[in-house]
Amino acid sequence: MNVEQIEQTFLVPLPAQLSLSNLRGRVAVVAEDPNAENAPPSISVTATKYLDSGDPEQTKVVMRQDADGRVVIQTEHATIDEQGFHKPCRVEYQLRVPRQCSATLSCISCKLEISGLQGEFWLKSVSGEMILKDLDGPIEASNVSGAILGQRLLGKGSFETTSGEMHLSQCNFSTLKITSVSGDLIVQTEPGPGPYRFKSISGDMTLILPELSSYRAELRSLSGQLLAPGSPAYGRILIGQRSVEVGRGGPLIQAESISGNLYLPGKPPGEI
């Protein structure tokens, strides 16, 4: 396989800052080995460009470090010139960064993976799968047609997808906002102060809280159903609006849809 590999290491202040944009390929960002002895904080980058996958002359890998210490990495490509369209090469990035690192990652057609970090995260993709693990800090993530899969996410969460599925498990969201058109949403979290807000056209929305959790849930929908312990026996149904209160206190859960259902599985307080 005909490839070009670029490696570079940047010494960074803490907390570190990373910005990366890619067109095609893969982006993997992981925390560096915490057992590295007396190593200064750094961001290590390996970029592999697959020369036969597009036009290597028009596909450039650019890396720099700004005055504030932020590391900026870009795949640049002149999509159209006087001879017409040129397809960008596939580029795979593998990065090791300090655990204390905020990241802004943007991809067009890429698989995006990020894990083990503490900071703030802005993640955007068009058609690749997004895999998020062990992130501590506020997250804003959007994906048009690829899935968003997450585990052990902590803090404020804001997610948006058009047709991709979303499955977030073993999380602890203090607040949550999710918007989708047709993809199904499944979120498992410890209850925080809330609110937890969902908006979908036709995709179903499932929020899994620990058993015996208290909460108040509201669904505004033309034809979607609110399916939860105590609903409809302890719930309220108005035209286009359904609500249920389970236990005392807990987060507010608000959902809007055209035809998507809101599922809240589990046992309510006091039920064995």
Is pLDDT at 269 greater than 50 in this prediction?
no
Please say if the pLDDT value at position 234 is more than 50.
no
List the structure tokens of 158: 């804001």
For residue 128, pLDDT beyond 70: yes
Question: Rounded distance, CA 98 to CA 58, Å?
Answer: 32
Q: Give the mean model confidence (pLDDT) for residues 217-243.
A: 70
Considering only residues 230 and 261, tell me which one the structure prediction assigns the higher pLDDT.
261
Distance CA 262, CA 203 (A): 9
Which among 252, 248, 245 has a CA at the least distance from the CA of 193? Answer: 252
- Token readout for 78 is 């002149």
Average pLDDT for 238-264: 84
Which of the 8 DSSP states describes residue 209?
Answer: -
Domain boundaries, the chain: 1-119, 138-272
Q: Give the pLDDT of residue 233.
A: 37
Q: What is the pLDDT of residues 38-65, one digit of tens each?
A: 789 999 999 999 999 888 888 999 999 9
Which of 123, 121, 97 shows the shortest CA–CA distance to 110?
Answer: 123
- Residues 136 and 120: beta-carbon distance below 8 Å: no
Q: What is the pTM of this model?
A: 0.89
d(CA 257, CA 47): 42
Interval 197-218 mean pLDDT: 90
Whether the CB-CB separation of 98 and 16 falls below 8 Å is answered with: yes
**What average pLDDT does the chain have?**
88
